[in-house]
Amino acid sequence: MEKMLVKSGKELKEKGKAYARWYQEEETYLEEHPGQAPLLRFHSMEELDWLSLAFSTRLGGVSTGYLSSMNLGWDRGEARENVCENYKRICNTLGVDYRKLVLSDQVHGVQVVYANEGMCAGEDIEKKLKGVDGLVTDRPGLVLATSYADCVPLFLADPQKHIVASSHSGWKGTVRKIGQVTVEKMEEMGSKARDIIAVIGPSICQDCYEVSEDVAEEFRKNFPREAWKDIIEKGRAGREGEQKYQLDLWAANWYLLREAGLLPENIHLSGVCTCCNQHLLYSHRATDGKRGNLNGFLSIR
């Protein structure tokens, strides 16, 4: 097995954002397995030997064309058996049973559910959870699988209580604060926010993420004024002269997790952009939607 550093997060510190003095440099590695699908791994979670966190890339699957080759989305316009084969391949690299996957059918909402054995994908790899954007569990062996292609993956772990959570936080989920909802769900199960470690996973960076005035306004409405400077930057003027903005979803989610009570030293930012790394990852924005799905895989050993 070969390990290659994808990003150390160092250059993010140099951007001069107020929150940057806090966040921990995360090291993201591409783990290559001869003859198998590669995985991305995150240094901060690798240190926790009771869990496994991996993120897929677009490499090592059977999909073709713009879906090439590890598409893990059911609704991207390809045969079901290809997607199933891709899941089986990546589970093979992970060393987990694909029947134990818990797959969420995400809708950019804020529903976070407790995952148990009854929700497992089973032999047919079925997506049993509808309208769910976050999963939390304390059951060893279940593999929480959430999907992405620019949206922000939030991976949370409580080393005291051995509880893990995985949530999908696109711009809509971010303004509706799914990060906080997820932390609250863990607290209901006995976690203390100050014990929770978080990884903000591969997703679109601020330079790549242009939004319109109405989206920027949603963020102004839902975030404290002192955070605006880090989250929303004035961009170019659009074709009709309307003002565009560059949105930093990483910063927004960082502030959310802080507001939820996480300690700044426990929030790690991968700094890997899906849109800047199209050879390795799928990006919705970069391809106008002609893309596959990436997945996070989080489990308690």
- Which is closer to Zn ion, CB of 216 or CB of 273? 273
Residues 13-72 close enough to bind Zn ion by CB under 5 A: none
SS3 237: strand
The answer to whether 7 and 55 have CB atoms below 8 angstroms apart is no
Backbone angles phi, psi at 90, to 5 degrees: -70, -35
State the DSSP code for 164.
E
- Which is closer to Zn ion, CB of 197 or CB of 273? 273
Kindly state whether residue 208 participates in binding Zn ion, applying the rule CB under 5 A: yes
Mark the segment that binds Zn ion (CB under 5 A) among 119-127, 132-140, 164-172, 270-278.
270-278
Kindly state whether residue 280 participates in binding Zn ion, applying the rule CB under 5 A: no
Kindly state whether residue 205 participates in binding Zn ion, applying the rule CB under 5 A: yes
- Least Å from the CB of residue 249 to Zn ion: 11
- Which is closer to Zn ion, CB of 132 or CB of 199? 199
The answer to whether 94 and 297 have CB atoms below 8 angstroms apart is yes
- Which is closer to Zn ion, CB of 30 or CB of 186? 30
The encoded tokens of residue 20 equal 């940057």
Out of 276, 278, 280, 287, name the contact with Zn ion by CB under 5 A: 276
Kindly state whether residue 275 participates in binding Zn ion, applying the rule CB under 5 A: yes
Angle in degrees, CA 29, 39, 3, rounded to 5: 40
- CA pair distance 25, 11, nearest whole angstrom: 10
- Least Å from the CB of residue 202 to Zn ion: 10
Kindly state whether residue 260 participates in binding Zn ion, applying the rule CB under 5 A: no
User: 282 CB contacts (<8 Å, ≥6 apart)?
Assistant: 58, 71, 149, 274, 291, 292, 293, 294
- CA pair distance 95, 283, nearest whole angstrom: 27
Out of 273, 294, 298, 300, name the contact with Zn ion by CB under 5 A: 273
